């Protein structure tokens, strides 16, 4: 097995703890919807697969890149999807289990903290940072990274700002490691991640679905 990059190794404890928490939150669904009864075995299989995923995770700049956090928070769902597919769980059920367990995990964060994070994301200061990082992404310093454009709203648009992802690190990872069929579940987690922070995400197409880009559009949810 390949070595885990030192950046991810430094965050390994937190990522493994998050995985164990997700599996705990998903236990009822795994029993009832996936018809799995030996939870000790399933948990061990997922954690063993997560060890493999950690060794496969590409380095895209560490703490200097906002996309590193996306990899650390979401790549574990690749491990869950792989294990459930080996147990012949349908893709639809895998998507439900991953989405609902992720939402339950997100909602464990106090509401005030989640909404404060959402306000920070929507702030003019963060939008300025996103513009800067979007421009830098086109240098493609790390080949497995994301490439994206910041989108300014035009007259008549009903969003605050947008991001068009022209290249996706998750798509590259899935293509390299044969995870294409479970890739759309990773895309589906975005809606929960933003909604629980008081942000409306609208998206009508994805790279994973064969489009030329993923069209993220962000606005504030009504109270």
Please state the pTM of the whole predicted model: 0.92
Q: What's phi and psi for 163, nearest 5 deg?
A: -135, 130
Confirm if 155 and 172 have CB atoms less than 8 A apart.
no
Tens of each residue's pLDDT in the chain, 223 residues:
679 999 999 999 999 999 999 999 999 999 999 999 999 999 999 999 999 999 999 999 999 998 999 999 999 999 999 999 999 999 999 999 999 999 999 999 999 999 999 999 999 999 999 999 999 999 999 999 999 999 999 999 999 999 999 999 999 999 999 999 999 999 999 999 999 999 999 999 999 999 999 999 999 987 6
Tokens representing residue 162 in the block: 């947008």
> Strand pairing partners for 201?
218
End-to-end Cα distance, the chain: 48
């Amino acid at each position: 097995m390949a070595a885990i990059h030192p950046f991810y190794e430094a965050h390994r404890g937190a990522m493994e703890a998050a995985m164990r928490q997700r599996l705990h939150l998903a236990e009822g669904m795994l029993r009832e919807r996936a018809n799995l009864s030996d939870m000790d075995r399933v948990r061990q299989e997922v954690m063993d697969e997560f060890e493999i995923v950690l060794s496969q995770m590409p380095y895209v700049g560490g703490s200097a890149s906002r996309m590193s956090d996306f990899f650390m928070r979401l790549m574990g769902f690749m491990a869950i999807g792989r294990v459930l597919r080996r147990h012949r769980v349908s893709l639809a059920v895998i998507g439900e289990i991953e989405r609902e367990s992720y939402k339950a995990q997100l909602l464990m964060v106090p509401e005030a903290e989640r909404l404060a994070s959402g306000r920070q994301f929507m702030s003019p200061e963060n939008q300025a940072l996103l513009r800067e990082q979007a421009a830098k992404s086109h240098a493609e310093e790390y080949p497995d990274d994301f490439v994206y454009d910041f989108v300014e709203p035009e007259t008549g648009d009903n969003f605050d700002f947008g991001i068009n992802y022209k290249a996706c690190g998750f798509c590259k990872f899935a293509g390299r490691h044969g995870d294409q069929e479970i890739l759309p579940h990773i895309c589906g987690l975005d809606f929960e991640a933003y909604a629980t922070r008081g942000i409306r995400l609208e998206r009508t197409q994805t790279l994973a679905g064969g489009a030329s880009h993923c069209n993220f559009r962000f606005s504030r949810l009504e109270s």
